[in-house]
Structure 1
Amino acid sequence: MFYMSVHRTIEAFHGYLSIERRMSKNTIMAYMRDLASFQSYVLDRSGAFEPVQIERRLLRRYLGHLHSEGHSVATIARRISALRAYFKYLIKQDILESDPSGNLKTPKQEKLTPRFLSADDAQRLIEHPVGDTPSAYRDRAILELAYSAGLRVGEVVSLNVKDVDLEARTLRVVGKGDKTRIVPIGRHAVVALELWLARRHELNGRNQDLDAVFRNARGGRLSARSVQRLVTKGRESCQQQGATPHWLRHACATHMLGSGADLRSIQELLGHASLSTTQRYTHVDLEKLMKTYDKAHPRSGHSTSESILPT
């Protein structure tokens, strides 16, 4: 399944996450890596891994081990989440009677403000691929879509031709947990897609993928890694440093919120299961508002300007 042999219950848990919970491949593999790490820790200390013998104190020692190794709070929190899900599954299967992870405390994570590209840098990045080759048209279409619809990289590369409705200006997107949503796209993205689809047939080969919207040079489905490399190449055109594909997704949400879009609409566009995830973008907009306030309001305590915010 992956880089090491795991206990049969972890193998069964993998199937449960995939078939019953319908989680994304990336989420499942993250869970498997975390559980494999825990299994390795237990094997090194006891020589055997048996779920029925795992106690709370062993889990606490494991968390202490992660702290001592310098793992981040986010990594430790994710591993606790994987363990909790695994033990809940074992209870559901009548393998365990009680959950040894029940009283484990998840470390508090710092709420990071999403990083995003400015509107100018988003445009610079989108316009970075130049030329009249099929790959140049493809790359511009990819970047336009990622920004226009706030798509995740995995959602971009998994698009099929049947998912695109240029006349209605919509896409059928399969997101996390195989959840499907219909999202609108802007006119610039529609034009970029039309131009690319007219040249798509030129990228063909022995491994031709007839369904994939975005093909590689051999005609197969383009990989997420290829999109990441595309953005890495385009960083040089941006004034900000460290641009990633996800920054385009964040930019879409932040710029929409700044232009008056409501949170519910942005939640639906991005495919967030919880509104609290979307609310992260309000912090970005609030920071911008506070900076404007401090510069413009005569009684902000930060400015001697006589101007005031419009009412």
Structure 2
Amino acid sequence: MSLDGERRAYGDGVSTDDEQVLDAFARHLELQRNLSRHTIRAYLGDVTSLLDQLHEAGVALRDLDLNQLRTWLVGQQRRGMARSTLARRVAAVRTFCTWAARAGHMGSDVGARLRSPRPDRHLPVVLGVDDAASLLELARERAADGDDPVQVRDWAALELLYATGVRVGELVGTDVGDADLGERTLRVTGKGDKQRMVPFGVPAGRALAAWLEQSRPRLVRPGTGAALFLGVRGGRLDPRTLRGVLHRLAAEAGVHDLAPHGLRHSAATHLLAGGSDLRTVQEVLGHASLATTQRYTHVTPERLRAAYTQAHPRA
């Protein structure tokens, strides 16, 4: 992954010297930290915000201190930014300060003491099992009604999103060779370029077979690569296309509106409700830490009561 073709104007408040620092920081994130293109772009925007404020205050990067960092963070809060965004901005600036201190652009790592706001505990929309079935049945019916390969693609993609719990970016990044219909497994590349195998069930296998055997060949164009899911022009499917498809289908099916990440959360919730343990869900979702899985999922009152009744000696 290279960002060389995506260098941008960092902002009116960023000097030429700071632009060079940001470019070097971007290379560090790409080559040493192996972060995704999306994360690098977000981190650069976050650090640019800080440098803009320093420029307005007449403060050089080398003179940055903790009070100025806190002033910048308070300003972000007053703009009404979500806590999740603030937490990411703090993470970006901490990473930047650590790198800048080691690279000699700052005298010390002043960001190490910057505390992140507590993240929101709001859970994304979760579909019930019946609603998830209704949504996917609608996608199947639309694929069966017409002779449109795009409808079959959408059906297969949504079945896999729910069956595997993968991120939409992971799904559209897969190639044909990553799917094993015989074993019903999908190899995905997650954060940090870490690969994992995730299983899927018979319904998703049926949809994927229909897509690969009947519909995908109809969207292949000269120069089409090995992407598992294709757009109408033969290139790799854009995740924004799937988001739009899901919003439209949810409205038509009469279920809660949700994004692809909502299907991921629904899959995790349904795995837990069905008796899966957190470690298994962690492996399926590709979380590096079990704590992330614990924050990402929640235990239904019914499952909590059942587990208590089964396990506690005086239940």
- TM-score, normalising length: structure 2: 0.85
**1:34-53 correspondence runs (5 A):** 34-46=46-58, 50-53=60-63
**Structure 2 counterpart of 1:169:** 184
Q: Indicate conservation of the 8 Å contact 1:114/1:280, yes or no.
A: no
Larger deviation, residues 208-217 vs 62-71:
62-71
Q: Distance in 1 between matches of 2:277 and 2:264?
A: 16
State the shift of 1:96 in Å: 2.8
Indicate whether 1:189 and 2:204 are aligned.
yes
Identity %: 38
Q: Indicate conservation of the 8 Å contact 1:231/1:243, yes or no.
A: yes
Code of the aligned partner of 1:60: R
**Structure 2 counterpart of 1:64:** 74
Larger deviation, residues 62-71 vs 151-160:
62-71
**Structure 2 counterpart of 1:237:** 252
Q: Distance in 1 between matches of 2:235 and 2:119?
A: 40
**Structure 2 counterpart of 1:4:** 9
**Structure 1 counterpart of 2:312:** none
State the shift of 1:23 in Å: 1.0
State the shift of 1:71 in Å: 2.1
**Structure 2 counterpart of 1:205:** 221
Q: Indicate conservation of the 8 Å contact 1:163/1:171, yes or no.
A: yes
**For this pair of structures, how many residues does the alignment match?**
290
Q: Secondary structure at the match of 2:188?
A: strand
Q: Indicate conservation of the 8 Å contact 2:94/2:114, yes or no.
A: no
Q: Distance in 1 between matches of 2:248 and 2:124?
A: 22
- TM-score, normalising length: structure 1: 0.86
Q: Distance in 1 between matches of 2:82 and 2:151?
A: 39
Q: Indicate conservation of the 8 Å contact 2:164/2:199, yes or no.
A: yes
Q: Quick check: which one's helix share is greater?
A: 2
Q: Distance in 1 between matches of 2:83 and 2:152?
A: 41
Q: Distance in 2 between matches of 1:269 and 1:255?
A: 13
What whole-Å deviation, never above 9, does each CA across 1:45-104 have from its counterpart, x for those lacking one?
32x7x4212122221221222222222222222211111000111122233331122322
State the shift of 1:2 in Å: 4.7
* Unaligned stretches of 5+ residues in structure 2: 1-5, 310-314
**1:215-254 correspondence runs (5 A):** 215-254=230-269
Deviation beyond 4 Å, 4+ runs, structure 1: none
Q: Distance in 2 between matches of 1:170 and 1:138?
A: 18
**Structure 2 counterpart of 1:145:** 160
State the shift of 1:166 in Å: 1.1
Code of the aligned partner of 2:50: F
Code of the aligned partner of 1:245: P
**Structure 2 counterpart of 1:109:** 119
